[in-house]
Amino acid sequence: MRIEVDFNVCVDHGQCAIAAPDIFRMDDEGHLVFNPNPDASLRADAESAADACPEQAITIFD
Amino acid sequence: MTKHVAVAGAGLGGLRAAEQLRAAGHDGPITVIGAEPHLPYNRPPLSKELLAHELLDGSGGEDGGTDPLAALHQRVAFRRRSSIADVTFRLGAAVTAADLPSGTLTLADGDTVRCDGLIAATGLRPRRLLNLPGPAGPGSGRHVLRTIDDLAGLRAELRAALRDAVPLEPSPAAAGRSPRPAAGPAATTIAGRPLPRVVVVGGGFVGCEVACTALSLGCEVTVVEPLGPPMLRVLGAELAAAVQASHERAGISFVIGQAVIAYTGQDRVTGVVIADGTDPGSARIPGGPASGGHAVAGAVLPADLVIEAIGSIPNTEWLAGNGLDLTDGVLCDNKLAAVTGAYAAVPVTAVGDVARFPNPLFDDVPRRVEHWSMPTDTARRAAATLHAQLSGAPLDPAPFRPLPSFWSDQGELRMWSFGSPGLADDVEITEGDLRELTGGLLATYRRGGQLVGSVALNLPPLRHRQLREALLK
């Protein structure tokens, strides 16, 4: 599983970090950092994070 | 036997319903039917970034001032997951009638679709101010904002108004964040030309977002709201007043406690007539519309553009005649199965803005919830329920208790709401300063002493997790 975030539209709402804390987190400055190649077992979490993103900035590739 | 599921509605709810049907194990055909000609797209940017997108840089829209719809749509279209690659999207024709005993849907173009199970996800349409004296209809300068097509129409008129008023080179107003002249009838740009005057009718979340976007574009903006300070029903009086004050400092004018009773102008709106009253459209008009002219009493707010954002109506008329309770949306049980009584028919579940269901997180009263998180959450459960009904599997016995949430970006303010603040009988400002909202503020909403909601303004997302967890306890 591969994850991409479109940083042209991401504005650090941070909802992905709530939905999938093992993949996404906010750094000390409040900006998003994430693991682009998470384990396949985190698929459901990754989809929840993509769904929860207000800007729909997250894409999941198989 | 393979069962065919029809999803009525191709917005966020319809898309998520199709995805969740597959996730629940439904392997039969799925048809998603949409009134709009567009594949599902994300609506929140329509009042914010997509409304402002490239409107001031002089690009686009040369050909008659309109944007190519496909280009606008592309910017907000949802990505289509591989799990629904085989789902049929039947777009450009709304479902106009349903015969549930036979599982037959009739579409606006006369076609029929047969199904074994149905998910209702037809969403909302904007409420309109009907029967007001003055210009109405396309080209009148009166807008609503729900669809991409609405957006394209509004952008074309905004672009034209800004071209007339704002000098492109040099462009002090184009920065959008430069200090603005004080709002008022005589406000002008530096070049001496008048600013486009935008009146937003309705002080809810969409109205306030549009107002902030129009302000950032360099318009002179007035919000008219009869019922009280903006977003009163959700935020409560104290915070609503503070948000109003914050927006006023940014340059937006508010007319509170007045209702729109008429528009002035011949073919196009030139002004908004307001008068004391709390119910738009019902205020008594001296002389009445039958008098032929617009000789109505009341102040006139000059307007080049009007955006009406006075709430929404659930699209459920197409389900009439099937024994469902369509009083306000589609009445469902806690598992999102439409309440049908003893009635032989294909099973129906409901998703998103039209679903009226009890949420035990709060109480046993069925309610519709027009929050952005709801289509995704309700689709998961409604799809699982429908799949169980179609396959004969047992229904998930766990209560469905989704936590509603939504956000609203308004100028310098970023609001996040969790739970149902509108249910509260008590609001406490637990953090922050009402006079300086941008520094971060937390409002806590209780009913009978029980926590029912939180509103966070400009608080970091890490705090949101605590707020959610406190509500889910």
pLDDT at B288 over 60: no
pLDDT at B352 over 50: yes
For B79, name the nearest residue in chain A, comparing CA atoms only.
Answer: A59
Confidence at residue B58, expressed as pLDDT on a 0 to 100 scale:
59
- Asked whether the beta carbons of residue A18 and residue B372 sit closer than 8 angstroms, the reply is no
- Residue B179 predicted with pLDDT over 50: no
Task: List CB contacts (< 8 A) between A17 and chain B.
Answer: 461-462, 465
The residue among B240, B181, B182, B237 whose CA lies nearest residue B208 is: B240
Q: Are A19 and A48 in contact (CB under 8 A)?
A: yes
Spatial contact of B236 and B443, defined as CB atoms under 8 Å apart? yes
- A2-61 is a CATH 3.30.460.10 domain: no
- In this predicted structure, the answer to whether residue B338 has a pLDDT above a threshold of 70 is yes
Q: Taking residues B168-186, report their average pLDDT.
A: 42
Pick out chain A residues at pLDDT < 70: none
Under CATH, which number does the domain B412-472 receive? 3.30.390.30
Tell me which residue of B89, B110, B115, B97 sits closest to B33, measured CA to CA. B89
Which positions in chain B touch A30 (Cβ < 8 Å)? 460-461
Kindly state the average pLDDT of the residues B451-469. 94
Segment B179-183 shows an average pLDDT of 41
B442 neighbors B429 (Cβ within 8 angstroms): yes
Sheet containing B299-302: give its strands across. B258-264, B271-276, B299-302
pLDDT at B130: 87
- Of A41-45, B153-157, B279-283, B375-379, which gets the smallest average pLDDT? B279-283
What architecture is the B5-40+78-126+313-391 domain classified under in CATH? Answer: 3-Layer(bba) Sandwich (3.50)
Residue from B15, B74, B75, B416 whose CB has the most chain A CBs within 10 Å, to mutate: B416
Whether the bond between B170 and the residue before it is cis, its omega within 30 degrees of 0, is: yes
- B142-310 CATH, one of 3.40.50.720, 3.10.310.10, 3.50.50.60, 3.30.56.10: 3.50.50.60
User: Of B42, B462, B468, which is closest to A26 when you measure between CB atoms?
Assistant: B462
pLDDT in tens, B378-428: 999 999 999 999 999 999 999 999 999 999 999 999 999 999 999 999 999
The CA distance from B38 to B151, in Å, is: 13
pLDDT digits (tens, 9 = 90+) for B205-215: 999 999 999 99
Q: Which of B260, B156, B176, B168 is nearest to B217 (CA)?
A: B176
Q: Which carries the bigger pLDDT value, residue B160 or residue B183?
A: B160
pLDDT (average), residues B345-351? 96
Per-residue confidence (pLDDT) for residue B191, from 0 to 100: 52
- For B148-157, letters b (16+ CB in 10 Å) and e give beebbbbbeb
Residue B62 pLDDT greater than 60, yes or no: no
Give A-chain residues touching B461 at CB under 8 angstroms.
12-15, 17-18, 26, 30
pLDDT given for residue B141 in this prediction: 96
Taking one residue from A and the other from B, the number of pairs with CB-CB distance under 8 angstroms is 36
**pLDDT band at B273; cut points 50, 70, 90:** very high
Which residues from A are below 8 Å from B42, CB to CB? 56
**Which positions in chain A touch B79 (Cβ < 8 Å)?**
56, 59
- Which residue ranges does chain B devote to CATH 3.30.390.30? 412-472
Closest B-chain CA to A29: B460
Q: How far apart are CA A24 and CA A56, in angstroms?
A: 14
Query: In the numeric block, which tokens belong to residue A31?
Result: 């900006």
Q: Residue B250 pLDDT more than 60?
A: yes
ipTM comes to 0.89
pLDDT-derived band at B340 (thresholds 50, 70, 90) equals confident
Distance (Å, rounded) from C-alpha B473 to C-alpha B466?
Answer: 11
Say which residue, B428 or B183, is predicted with more confidence. Answer: B428
B42 and A62 within 8 Å at the Cβ level: the answer is no
- Chain B residues in contact with chain A using a Cβ-Cβ cutoff of 8 Å: 16, 42, 44-45, 76, 78-79, 81-82, 372-373, 376, 407, 460-462, 464-465, 468
Q: Which amino acid is at B374?
A: M
- Within chain B, all domains assigned CATH 3.50.50.60 are found at 5-40+78-126+313-391, 142-310
